[in-house]
Amino acid sequence: MSTTVIRNARLLDEDVVDLLIEDGAFTAVGTGLDAPADAHEVDATDLVALPGLVDLHTHVREPGREDAETVLTGSRAAARGGFTCVHAMANTDPVADTAGVVEQVWRLGLEGGFCDVQPVGAVTVGLGGERLAELGAMADSAAGVRVFSDDGKCVSDAVLMRRALEYVKAFDGVIAQHAQEPRLTEGAQMNEGPLSGELGLTGWPAVAEEAIVARDVLLAEHVGSRLHVCHVSTRGSVEIIRWAKSRGINVTAEVTPHHLLLSDEVVRSYDPIYKVNPPLRSADDVQAVREALADGTIDVVATDHAPHPMEDKECEWSAAAFGMLGLETALSVVQQTMVDPGLLTWADVAGRMSYRPAEIGRVAGHGRPIAVGEPANLALVDPSAERVVEATDTASLSRNTPYAGLTVPGRVVATFLRGRATVLDGELQEVYA
């Protein structure tokens, strides 16, 4: 493998250094490093060097909905966003509820070579919520699944949820819950509040999320297992998770970029681009999740990248699919909502978008510091750049970004996966696994 030297990179919030990469790992970190004459040089002046980002919540749609996204196109979008590892959710067709399906997704990621794709296994067979899927077989597969979720659906049966939490303890797994009490959200279209009444859209109450979060943290405490709460969106959920952590319950939580930036006020347009599950919440909820991410109550930012073909979004609100793109814009949204206002430093961003998600997902070789001997998974970011988000300027097969037309800060200039450039000067590089 070729040698790369990166010059004058800002190491998070610390010193400006050179980085020498050989055989897929960092072999020197310092100033004025000597490099072989044939080394590829990258000028990183004024760029922040982040460890490769890790996403705990990505929908790649393959197998089954390759019209919306594939493992390859999702991986390419991830690389453009600075990610070197993503967790592919299980709501595919067929559902990723067997060792065979999760290994298929895992191998497609290896073949693509733009980022590592770690499958998430379904908790229940076919996401049906009736009986447990082959959790042990998926854990023992070549993919080594450690995160299990019926995301898109809630494991609403308390007995089944308890059994799942007990089962994954044997291999240090975690259940990632989509917290949505189904009986409270039948036909729900947007956040329940004065605005839903004004717009005539069926309300989605905050308590539908909070009731499941409360139940599940108590179950996790009872069985002594790991629980992860997907896409936290309400102040009440934040308060429950904060309480649970104060009791020593082993619970972690994520927030999406869109819940950090957007409130339900954008739904006034009736544009289905803003239809998402859980729904965009009130401005007070937005403030609450920002504060919780800043103080560590919410552990990570996860994109919930949810691509959809045009016909599933360009229709009336009630018929539109739930979901938004997120991989290529996540870092910019975090910079806008958290870094630029002073709520997080770049070192904090590394923790919430690399170290901690890798730890929760138990993925080896990712979420590691930029240091000698560590795998050279890296993103170089220009925090002073500004860009206008264009729906057509994406590596995804879909175009359903809620940020189209918005000016956002920051730009991923380069991404390296084990020392190999997947993105340079903001452009994808052809790679071969």
Instruction: Compute the distance between CA of residue 292 and CA of residue 312 in angstroms, rounded to an integer.
Output: 33
Query: What DSSP assignment string belongs to 181-240?
Result: -GGG-TT--EE-SHHHHHHT--EE-HHHHHHHHHHHHHHHHHHT--EEE-S---HHHHHH
Do 19 and 49 contact (CB within 8 A), yes or no? yes
63-to-93, 239, 320 alpha-carbon distances in Å? 6, 37, 22
Q: Which stretches in the chain have pLDDT values below 70? A: 1, 432-433
Q: Is 277 annotated as a binding residue?
A: yes
How confident is the model at residue 322, as a pLDDT?
98
Whether 433 maps to a domain, the answer reads no
289 and 319 co-located in one domain: yes
Domain count, the chain: 2
The residue type at 118: Q
The last residue of a domain, from among 315, 333, 361: 361
Whether 14 maps to a domain, the answer reads yes
How confident is the model at residue 432, as a pLDDT?
54
How confident is the model at residue 1, as a pLDDT?
59
23 and 134 co-located in one domain: no
Q: Which listed residue (304, 312, 348, 382) is catalytic?
A: 304
197 and 157 co-located in one domain: yes
Whether 330 maps to a domain, the answer reads yes
Range of the domain at 93: 53-361
The last residue of a domain, from among 361, 393, 410: 361
193 and 153 co-located in one domain: yes
Q: Is 322 exposed, middle or buried (0-12, 13-18, 19+ CB in 10 A)?
A: middle
58 and 163 co-located in one domain: yes
Q: Is 178 annotated as a binding residue?
A: yes
Q: Which SS3 state, helix, strand or coil, does residue 250 take?
A: coil
In this structure, what token pair is assigned to residue 331? Answer: 């870092």
Whether 270 maps to a domain, the answer reads yes
285 and 418 co-located in one domain: no
393 and 293 co-located in one domain: no
* Strands of the sheet with 147-148, listed across from one edge: 147-148, 174-177, 227-229, 251-255, 300-301
CATH number at 212 reads 3.20.20.140
Whether 367 maps to a domain, the answer reads no
Structure confidence by residue, pLDDT tens digits, 202-231? 999 999 999 999 999 999 999 999 999 999
- Which of the 8 DSSP states describes residue 409? E
33 and 145 co-located in one domain: no
Q: Is 91 annotated as a binding residue?
A: yes
CATH number at 43 reads 2.30.40.10
Whether 272 maps to a domain, the answer reads yes
The last residue of a domain, from among 361, 390, 418: 361
235-246 and 206-223 helices, crossing angle to 10°: 10
347 and 411 co-located in one domain: no
Peptide bond into 94 cis (omega under 30): yes
276 and 179 co-located in one domain: yes
Q: Is 224 annotated as a binding residue?
A: no
Torsion of CA 238, 231, 280, 340, to 10 degrees: 80
Whether 368 maps to a domain, the answer reads no
Whether 366 maps to a domain, the answer reads no
Residue 38 falls in the annotated catalytic set: no
How confident is the model at residue 433, as a pLDDT?
47
Q: In terms of DSSP H, where are the helices of 20-126?
A: 71-80, 99-112
Q: Is 59 annotated as a binding residue?
A: yes
117 and 9 co-located in one domain: no
Q: Is 231 annotated as a binding residue?
A: yes
117 and 181 co-located in one domain: yes
